[in-house]
Amino acid sequence: MNITVCNPLLRTPLSLIVDDSCPVINLTYYWIQQRHAWKARHQPGVPPDRWEGNAAQLKKIPPTIPADFAAEWAEWCWENGVKGKFSLIPYPAGVGRVDEGFPAQVVEKSSTLEYQAWMRVYRELIWPSFDLTPEMLTHTAVVDLDTFALTEEWEQVEWVNPPVDNRLTDYIIAAMEILDNVGIPCEGVTSPGAFGKRQEAAYAKAVLTASQHVNNNPRPFYFLWLKNDELPDVPIWYPEKENGVAIASIVACAGDWFGGWTGYDLGDADRFITEDLQEGRLPPILEKELPCVLVGHWPGFYFNGEKCGFEILKTVKTRLDNYDPDGTKTLWMKTSEIGHYWMARELTDITVLPVGVVSNRIQQINLSTQFPTANFTLAIDAPIRHVQVNGWDLREVHSRRDFQRDTFLIEGNQQTFIAFDLEIGETQLALIVA
Ligand SMILES: [Zn+2]
């Protein structure tokens, strides 16, 4: 009897990553302003590179993004089942700490009321569908942890190659603690730009250590890689099988083709998936049933109030719905859920006992894991008449549309799929072969 672990409920994971988001502040406005000021101090006379933003566009960029827009966006995601990850930069551009409430007059047009409205949207509308993560501390300059003053180094420039001693771990701890101070135990972190990329092993270790320290969370994730030219994977680092400890690298495969990080570089839905569902980055990945993680940037969805990036998201979602009209091919997940599923997939021991150990009719399979996950799905290369998980009967269904947790499905009279929530410890499957 051959057993394989399949995608959850036989559906390809979909997830939307939103970067550069924070309460009140439009990160792009401050990022470009601070970068150009830095440039004038350190490289006078050298014009900014394209990646450093266009000063001429600054006049159009508002310093804040309204909570009303965040509510509209998040309600749409909720109603349409879009899930993923949404950043909450803890000390955006060094303007104010989110756990100190952004006092009035910190930024133009901002007020305590607007900050409170934003935090309500985060907690009530975004969090149910998205993991909330820090994107380090400021997403601009590196912070001196003793004084919380900004230094002349940049999180996404110098700290692409960060110090690999305790400073890196302390830095991530500081970011996680600010979120914890506002009642948000984060499931992982997001790299601002390429933060940590040249020291990925040390970075992954530091995130894992910080997550255990601040949130007692032994199975976090980090988002660092966007690969638009390779097939995606979910690498698992530092697995400790017996202790249930590991960290997942969530690798995105598509983006940013909404509105860019700038909020003035308009993308195109066709680059994700064309209207005829044949072209674009996503169809070949969906075809291979690999996790499709899309990336967008918060200022790009807002697009200086024109909401053009948000419109592209709506178009992409409509096309993905057309690709999967009965909901049997894809499954929107939070990024932490993808990480947990891949940990369970790789780090669960599955033992098929010889027939006859329990009885001549019953095939017993033992699963042992410290990595729980929802919708754990197995394929068995035999038609099974009856399935029990830890003594509970699963219900047989007859179509993929009805295939949910605690059911099983026989296809082609030769293969059986079984789905259930995998819990920590031992799980016993008892199967009666048809
Ligand atoms: Zn970012």
Cα(20) to centroid of ligand 1, in Å?
4
Domain identity same for 306 and 367: no
pLDDT of residue 102: 72
56 Cα to the center of ligand 1, angstroms: 21
Structural domain contains residue 5: no
In a domain, 40, yes or no: yes
* pTM for this predicted structure: 0.97
133 with 122: CB under 8 angstroms?
no
Final residue before a domain boundary, out of 296, 311, 340: 340
Q: Does 132 share its domain with 251?
A: yes
Q: Identify whether the C-beta of residue 281 lies closer than 8 Å to the C-beta of residue 274.
A: no
Per the structure, the complete domain to which residue 180 belongs is given by 11-340
Q: How many whole angstroms from 135 Cα to the centroid of ligand 1?
A: 7
Residue 314 shares a structural domain with residue 385: no
Residues 194, 280 within the same domain: yes
**CATH number of the domain within which 96 lies:** 3.20.20
Ligand 1 center to residue 193 CA distance, Å?
5
Q: Are residues 375 and 280 in the same domain?
A: no
CA distance 252 to 337: 15
Q: How far is the CA of 342 from the centre of ligand 1 (A)?
A: 25
Q: Kindly give the distance from the C-alpha atom of residue 246 to the centroid of ligand 1, in angstroms, as a whole number.
A: 24
> Residue 193: helix, strand or coil by DSSP?
coil
pLDDT the model gives residue 89: 98
Please identify, among 280, 313, 340, the residue that sits at the C-terminal boundary of a domain: 340
pLDDT of 107 reads 59
Residue whose pair of structure tokens reads 């051959």 in the numeric block: 2
Dist CA 14 CA 356 (whole Å)? 42
Angle, vertex CA 358, rays to CA 356 and CA 361, nearest 5:
60
Cα atoms in the 13 Å half-sphere on the side-chain side of 120:
12
d(CA 332, CA 130): 10
> If you measure from the C-alpha of residue 189 to the centroid of ligand 1, how many angstroms do you get, rounded to a whole number?
11
Among residues 317, 340, 363, the one where a domain terminates is 340
Whole-number Å distance, alpha carbon 89 to ligand 1 midpoint, is 9
Indicate if 239 and 372 belong to the same structural domain. Answer: no
Q: What is the mean pLDDT of each run of 10 residues along the chain (434 residues)?
A: 96 98 96 96 94 94 96 98 98 93 62 90 98 98 96 98 95 98 98 97 98 98 97 97 98 97 97 98 98 98 98 98 98 98 98 80 94 98 94 97 98 95 97 86
Which pLDDT belongs to residue 112?
82
92 Cα–ligand 1 center, Å: 11
Same domain, 382 and 306: no
- What is the model's pLDDT at position 356? 74
142: left (phi over 0), alpha (psi -120 to 50) or beta: beta
CA of 226 to the centre of ligand 1 (A): 12
What's the CA gap between 434 and 66, in Å, rounded?
Answer: 60
CA of 191 to the centre of ligand 1 (A): 7
Q: Is residue 4 part of a domain?
A: no
Looking at the fold, whether 299 and 377 belong to one and the same domain comes out as no
Q: What's the 245 CA to ligand 1 centre distance in angstroms?
A: 27
Residue 194 Cα to ligand 1 midpoint, Å, equals 9
Q: Beta strands 141-143 and 150-154: pairing type?
A: antiparallel
Residue 234 within a domain: yes
Answer whether 344's CB lies under 8 Å from 369's CB.
yes
Domain co-membership, 277 together with 356 = no
Distance of CA 224 from the midpoint of ligand 1 (Å): 10
Shared domain for 270 and 417, answered yes or no, is no
Q: Indicate whether 171 belongs to any domain.
A: yes
Number of independent structural domains in the chain: 2
Asked if residue 398 and residue 328 are part of one domain, the reply reads no
**In a domain? residue 1:** no
Q: Does residue 371 share a domain with residue 324? A: no
